């Protein structure tokens, strides 16, 4: 009898376990302030630079935002004008986030920007130059909005690539300037020097 009872219990045990309610998953803790700040920082790269959604800047940046540049501070309008200029010059611009570290209200991001200069910007024609730059940005984020920025990257690498693509045009302009200088110098040599009347 004991064996039969054990057999019956073992036979129905899998069905009994399957019918039992599953234990509730532990509640997911809310993201930390640092993780929320990282999400705000990631939006700059994903939405503004990579997708060209400049209209979201007011959602991401505070109205009193300052970008602390090497030679002065830029407000939000100036900062976004620079971002739009970069996207206009390189419509395929993509910025890849390498590493992101958050501490307190600061988020540091190591990034790589890649793009191709396929659009004319101002007097500079499209060069087809493929540009790549690595930089680092530090943001201070408070109340879910970026309030301050410090960015550093090697602008000379980008300038070198663009100038390399324009080398023949620049050489041609230099030759024209040299010829004009020579013509003016020759013309001035032929003009007799007159003393002013006393």
Asked if residue 30 has pLDDT above 90, the reply is: no
Report the C-alpha gap between 144 and 59 in whole angstroms.
Answer: 9
Q: Which segment of 111-120, 131-140, 171-180 scores lowest on mean pLDDT?
A: 171-180
Q: Which segment of 31-45, 50-64, 146-160 scores lowest on mean pLDDT?
A: 146-160
H or E segment and range at residue 52: none
Q: Which segment of 84-93, 117-126, 181-190 scores lowest on mean pLDDT?
A: 181-190
178 is written with which tokens? 């040299």
Asked if residue 6 has pLDDT above 90, the reply is: no
Q: Dihedral sign, CA of 155, 156, 162, 163? A: positive
Write down the pLDDT at residue 103.
96
Give the residue with greater pLDDT, 33 vs 165: 33
105 is written with which tokens? 């209200």
Q: Where are the domains of the chain?
A: 31-179
Write down the pLDDT at residue 129.
81
Report the C-alpha gap between 107 and 97 in whole angstroms.
Answer: 12
Within the chain, strands assigned E span 61-68, 73-74, 94-103, 106-116, 130-142, 145-153
**Could you tell me which CATH number the domain at 31-179 has?**
3.10.450.50
Q: Which segment of 81-85, 102-106, 129-133 scores lowest on mean pLDDT?
A: 129-133
Q: Where does the pLDDT of residue 97 fall: very low under 50, low under 70, confident under 90, or very high at 90 and above?
A: very high
């Amino acid at each position: 009898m004991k064996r039969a009872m054990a057999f019956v219990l073992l036979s129905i045990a899998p069905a009994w376990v399957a019918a039992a309610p599953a234990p509730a998953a532990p509640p997911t803790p809310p993201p930390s302030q640092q993780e929320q700040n990282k999400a705000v920082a990631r939006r700059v790269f994903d939405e503004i630079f990579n997708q060209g959604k400049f209209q979201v800047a007011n959602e991401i940046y505070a109205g009193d935002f300052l970008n602390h540049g090497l030679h002065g501070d830029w407000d939000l309008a100036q900062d976004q004008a620079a971002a739009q200029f970069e996207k206009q010059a390189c419509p395929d611009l993509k910025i890849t986030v390498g590493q992101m570290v958050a501490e307190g209200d600061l988020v540091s991001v190591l990034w790589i920007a890649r793009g191709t200069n396929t659009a004319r910007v101002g007097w500079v024609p499209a060069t087809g130059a493929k540009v790549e730059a690595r930089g680092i940005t530090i943001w201070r984020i408070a109340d879910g909005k970026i309030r301050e920025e410090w960015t550093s990257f090697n602008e000379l690498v980008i300038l070198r690539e663009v100038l390399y693509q324009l080398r023949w045009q620049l050489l041609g302009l230099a030759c024209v300037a040299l010829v004009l200088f020579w013509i003016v110098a020759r013309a001035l040599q032929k003009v007799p020097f007159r003393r002013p009347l006393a």
